[in-house]
Amino acid sequence: MSSLLETTGLTVTFGGLNANDNVDIEITKGSFVGLIGPNGAGKTTFIDAITGFVPTSAGSAIFDGHDLSELKPHERAQLGLVRTFQSLELFEDLSVRDNLLVAAHPTTWYTLALDVFRLRQSNEEIEERIDWALEVAGLTGLEEELPTDLPHGQRKLVGVARALAAQPNLVLLDEPAAGLDTAESNALGGHLRGLLDHDVTVFLIDHDMGLVLSVCDFIYVMDFGKIIASGTPEEVRSNPEVIAAYLGEEAGEVQARSAEELRGISDTAGE
């Protein structure tokens, strides 16, 4: 199994505070990797850093053999390193379908000419990819809606579908299940697992412990910007440091909780 994304000593500093501190994360091709941690731990910052949305102050990130440091956000996306946003960030005045089309269509220098002279044939492959992305996100039938007309949970999923429409090799999902109920969340988990069959590697951040523990092969735990533990779901669940990190945030006997009960810890929507 080859590594698809590997960070070494990745550090992000915001005015003296290390939001990410020497983070080493490895994601192997075809795996389903999770990242959990209390609010403010630096999870979103990690995604921001490897997708080029915040500058890193030290460390390196290699994606599929490419050193990411010199690449702009859109170049990383074009390489197949595609993210979603915790804070929605949709094209609010474009229909769901148009949201996906922006990501799905590649452009070249003569795209404008094709547009203006209407020389383009309809593209089967792109149509199929979009239908597939909508299906994975459970949005089939909502193509023509505006994102603002959808409930919060589904808006999150528009972001997921848009990321999938961009033909990712590795998709980085930042709390996609926030705003979904248990049943919807489980359904999403099932769909996301299915991505592995489509050669899409998945990196998942979520507060829904049930979801993360049930779908991930391997989990990293972050607190105060540092990776404090990693391992299979079983290992992570019984790791004393992890329990301590969560205890620090909210009193309770986490140890005794089943995966299902862990849901609800800090699942305040958003940040």
Residues that bind Mg ion (CB under 5 A): 44, 86
* Residue 85 site contact among ligand ADP, Mg ion, other proteins, none (CB < 5 to 8 Å, cut-off depends on kind): other proteins
88 forms part of the interface with other proteins (CB under 8 A) = yes
Q: What is the CA radius of gyration of the chain?
A: 19
Q: How many angstroms separate the CA atoms of 118 and 120, rounded? A: 6
What would the two tokens of residue 212 be? Answer: 């993360």
CA angle, 33 as apex, 138 and 45 as ends, to 5°?
A: 90
Can you tell me the distance from the alpha carbon of 197 to that of 185, in angstroms, rounded to the nearest whole number? Answer: 20
- Residue 39: name its binding partner from other proteins, ligand ADP, Mg ion, none (Cβ under 5 to 8 Å by kind): ligand ADP
Q: Which of 7, 43, 61, 220 binds ligand ADP (CB under 6 A)?
A: 43
Which C-beta is closer to ligand ADP: that of 127 or that of 271? 271
Q: Nearest-5° angle of CA 238, CA 241, CA 245? A: 110
Position among 42, 138, 176, 233 found at the interface with ligand ADP (CB under 6 A): 42
Please enumerate in sequence order all residues whose Cβ is within 8 A of that of 6, keeping only pairs 6 or more positions apart, or say none: 25, 26, 27, 61, 62
The smaller minimum CB distance to other proteins, of residues 205 and 213, is found at: 205
Does 45 sit near ligand ADP (CB under 6 A)? yes
**Per CB under 8 A, 77 contacts other proteins:** yes
Which of 28, 39, 78, 214 is close enough to bind ligand ADP by CB under 6 A?
39
